[in-house]
Amino acid sequence: MLTTYAHIDLAALVHNLTQIRRYLSGNAAVLAVIKANAYGHGAEEMAKTLVRHGVSHLGVVSVTEGRALRESGITTDIIVLGPTFDEQLPDALHSRLTLVVGDRPRLTALARAAAEKGLSVPVHLKVETGMGRLGFSVDEMPVVLDSLRNHSSLRVEGLMTHLSDADGKTSDYTEQQLATFHQTLELLAARGLHPPLIHAANSAAIVRYPTSHFSLVRPGIMLYGYHTLPGSVPAPSLKPVMTLRTTIAHLRTVKPETSISYNRTFVAARPSTIAVLPIGYADGYSRRLSNRGAVLIHGQRAPIVGTICMDMTMVDVTDIPAAQVGDQVIIIGHQGRDTIGADEIAEWTATIPYEVLCGIGPRVPRIYGS
């Protein structure tokens, strides 16, 4: 019996992919972002489902993530979006991973590593247009492009950037980033370079900025059923892919003035029934939810009481008299007429749904179905 587990709805994933495709301009294709274990959903299963439904490219953050997908049998193009170190280049080449490069030393190292193996490998150049993180500046691009003439082992397959404020309240900064990106494309064209894969759009930009679609878009959070669009922007109809469930392990009746959990942060004000749940911060259920969050039992909200422990959480079920040991509890998901989403948990903990989903730890089994 699994007492705590995440149910991953593959049909919901496919639904979200279909919704995303409805926004695409021209011949833009999907580069599905499955980094961070597919935002906590399980990269291998997400990849296989997405590929079966026509996704041509997968995005990961590291050589380690890409190699694991290759070892699981994934043959689709895999693009490593994050930084790569020289020591990882042999692994990357062996695993047929396409690297994103945004600095000259790494470009030279990749060219050398490929040449030593007699290979001509694709590379995506990253341009820093306003994220302030990785990528070549526009000013250094002419030197970078000229240096490529000396690197016959590299083929510029792609050019990319990352939009830092696509889900912001105003569009000015994103438009500025896109203008800078277009300037870089013109630099390439002037040198006779026309990479087939141009990409800039993340989930929010797919919806808000059709001019950012180019040849690939990079949906991440929207694949998994959430978005961070401002309220003024009509959102796509998405279905959360993950439902996080646990089970009532114990019921305790307590008198007024009884304290619950560490440091007596909750003291009962009335005769109460407290349910103990076998999930805690070691499973990724944030301690910041202590005395703040809620779960669903019999379709009703049961508030968290006391400090969330490493392995257990206590909730007040006094107003849910039907609650029994063994009853299913919804941590993230729908029950009855109510829903607690990762976005609501994010509001309770002053974060974003990305962190909530990515935080569900490996101790929680993922069960796949439709």
Reply yes or no on whether the pLDDT at 239 is more than 90. Answer: yes
Domain hosting 318: range is 242-368
Q: What is the dihedral of CA 283, 286, 289, 294, to 10 degrees?
A: -40
- 5 in any annotated domain: no
Q: Where are the alpha helices (DSSP H) in 53-171?
A: 63-71, 89-94, 104-116, 141-147
> Would you list the DSSP string of 241-262?
-EEEEEE--EEEEE-TT-EESG
pTM of the predicted model as reported, rounded to 2 decimal places: 0.95
Residue 310 assigned ligand-binding role: yes
Instruction: Mark whether 45 and 139 lie in a shared domain.
Output: yes
At residue 1, the pLDDT reads 85
Domain containing 122 — which CATH number?
Answer: 3.20.20.10
Q: What is the mean pLDDT of residues 306-316?
A: 99
Phi, psi of 203 (to 5 degrees): -55, -50
pLDDT value of position 362: 96
Q: Are strands 242-247 and 250-254 parallel, antiparallel or unpaired?
A: unpaired
- Number of domains making up the chain: 2
pLDDT in tens, 354-370: 999 999 999 999 999 98
Query: Are 39 and 151 part of one and the same domain?
Result: yes
Residue-wise pLDDT for 318-346, tens only, equals: 999 999 999 999 999 999 999 999 999 99
Residue 217 sits in the same domain as residue 251: no
In this prediction, residue 69 carries a pLDDT of: 99
Establish whether 141 is an annotated binding residue.
no
| Active site positions, annotated | 35, 262
pLDDT band at 212 (very low <50, low <70, confident <90, very high): very high
CA distance 82 to 95: 16
pLDDT at 32 over 90: yes
Arithmetic mean of pLDDT, 143-150: 92
Amino acid 370: pLDDT: 84
Q: Does residue 108 share a domain with residue 37?
A: yes
> Average pLDDT, stretch 235-244?
97
Mean pLDDT of the region 148-155: 93
User: Per-residue pLDDT averaged across 72-78, rounded?
Assistant: 98
**Would residue 237 count as lying in a domain?**
no
The runs of H, that is alpha helices, within the chain are 10-21, 35-40, 43-52, 63-71, 89-94, 104-116, 141-147, 172-190, 203-208, 342-348, 353-358
Q: How far apart are CA 83 and CA 90, in angstroms?
A: 15
Mean pLDDT over residues 48-62, rounded?
A: 98
Q: Are residues 61 and 184 in the same domain?
A: yes
Query: Which one has a higher pLDDT value, 25 or 7?
Result: 7
Mean pLDDT of the chain: 97
Same-domain status, 139 and 38: yes
Taking the CA atoms of 86, 88, 93 and 94 in sequence, report the sign of the dihedral they define: positive
Confidence class of residue 217 from pLDDT cuts 50, 70 and 90? Answer: very high
Do 138 and 268 share a structural domain?
no
- Domain CATH code at residue 362: 2.40.37.10
Sorted by sequence, the CB contacts under 8 Å of residue 186 that are 6+ apart come out as none
The reply to whether 230 falls in a domain is no
Residue 85 pLDDT > 90, yes or no? yes
Is residue 152 one of the residues assigned to a domain? Answer: yes
